[in-house]
Amino acid sequence: MNGIKKPEVLAPAGNFEKLKAAVNFGADAVYLAGNCFGMRSAAGNFTEEELFEAVKYAHGRGVKVYVTVNTMPHTGEYSFLRGYLEMLGKTEADAVIVSDLGVFMLVREVIPQIPIHVSTQASVVSAQTCLAWHRLGASRVILARELSLDEIIEIRKSIPDELEIEAFVHGSMCISYSGRCLLSNYITGRDANRGACTQPCRWEYKIYNSQAVEDQLSRLPKPNSVQYEIDEVKRPGQRLTVIEDGGDTFTFSSRDLCMLQYIPELVRSGLSCFKIEGRMKSTGYVASVTNAYRIAVDRYFEDPEGYCFDPALMREVESVCHREYATGFFFGEQIMNANVCTQPGYIREQAVLAVAINRESGSDNPRFYQKNKFSRGDLLELLSPGEIGRSFVADRIFDANGEPIESTPHPGMVFSLEVPYEVREGDILRFGKEHLLC
């Protein structure tokens, strides 16, 4: 295809279960974190032992592993960081993702054999900055989310071929510049730049005139409301109060990014890697979104001239828990209009019911490990790698002993099910479209 290399599909792996889903559903690479120095401390993450197991599992299936070391450590944390990096060097991970210059230089010193990817937290928005990081030893730069496609194209033209560029193409966005935010730390004492963001940008805020403050506060439930007072500089003496309460104003809350419909444009921009956000999202999210992007990218490269986007793929990414979708800055929209949420919370997703496990020898029906209850007669879908969700009705369910049952009520139970499609280990069973759960 005129020398254009197929971009990598990079999926999130918040824990080992999600890692397996990402690998099974077509990721070329996964990114994950150990129990420290990663920007998603609330994700399950990986113990030291699990990091070794994760790399071994992924490599055994031809998938790369990138480990995030992208927080901004304080001075007193560097001695511990050195030991952590020494451990990472033994895992044979394919790269570490770094945002802080001090961390970058320590990685080069302690584990020079491991490639370094510069995190989106470094806010790289120019070819000049890409070149600077490359001269320091970076093999890939994850661009800031605030760039348009035209700007990405210009950057690609201005940097060496061996320097890869990556961008987020799907998932949660942040109101702050490339995720560098102090709001969480200021309000709750939990530092977003050290992996502990409480997402106060998702709360609702209202500004009240000082004359109405006491009446408003008297009606708010306690202790769930949060109150702050500010003075407006052009109105001296007029005290304003910012209150978080249940309502419909979402000044800071950005929509989720979705570029699934624009695979040709993303490919032509010269990106080396399409990154999916979501280490704190569900296993169903990882499987469905990774699968959709895998299918779209493969179909485009099979026939670039005849490629036509399949709306069924959009229904797949709409089936997972998400906020309203938008295209971020790729086409030049400003965050304060088309990219701001107009409704609270998440749009609901199809519940994952079970994951397929090894079929017993001599058994006619596939076996599953239960995640959520369903009953005989329910409309279900089977999600398999490279396939859109396929519907069928649950007519015959059997317990572990092969006895017919009416439902799957017990968490973690093993059961078998009559399915009209081929089922492979790792396939996901979920409710049909009319059963939505978040």
pLDDT tens digits, 377-402: 999 999 999 999 999 999 999 999 99
Tell me if residue 184 falls in helix, strand or coil.
helix
pLDDT at 338 (0 to 100): 58
The token pair at 376 is: 């005989």
* CB within 8 Å of 321: residues ≥ 6 apart: 281, 282, 285, 346, 347, 348, 349, 438
Return d(Cα 280, Cα 44) in angstroms, integer: 8
Contact 22, 284 (CB under 8 A): no
pLDDT at 194 (0 to 100): 59
Quick one: DSSP state of residue 260? Answer: G
The token pair at 31 is: 């990114």
pLDDT at 219 (0 to 100): 58
Which amino acid is located at 106 in the chain?
L
| Cα distances (Å, whole numbers) of residue 435 to 314, 377, 403 | 18, 13, 26
Q: Which pLDDT tens digit goes with each residue over 30-48?
A: 999 998 765 555 556 899 9
| Domains delineated in the chain | 8-177+253-326 (3.20.20.70), 178-244 (no CATH), 350-437 (2.40.30.10)
Contact 172, 323 (CB under 8 A): yes
- Please report which residue ranges of 90-148 form alpha helices under DSSP H: 101-110, 127-136
Return d(Cα 335, Cα 339) in angstroms, integer: 5
Kindly give the parts of the chain with pLDDT less than 50: 210, 223, 232-235, 238, 240, 245, 335-336, 435-438
The H-or-E segment that residue 57 falls in is helix 48-59
Report residue 341 CA to chain centroid gap: 18
pLDDT at 208 (0 to 100): 52
Quick one: DSSP state of residue 418? Answer: -
pLDDT at 232 (0 to 100): 43
Report residue 347 CA to chain centroid gap: 16
The closest alpha carbon to 295, from 273, 310, 278, belongs to: 310
Tell me if residue 190 falls in helix, strand or coil.
coil
Contact 393, 418 (CB under 8 A): no
The token pair at 287 is: 């499987």
What's the predicted TM-score (pTM) here? Answer: 0.83
Q: Which pLDDT tens digit goes with each residue over 323-377?
A: 889 998 899 755 445 566 666 667 776 789 999 998 766 578 999 999 999 999 9
CA angle 387, 391, 396 (to 5 degrees): 125
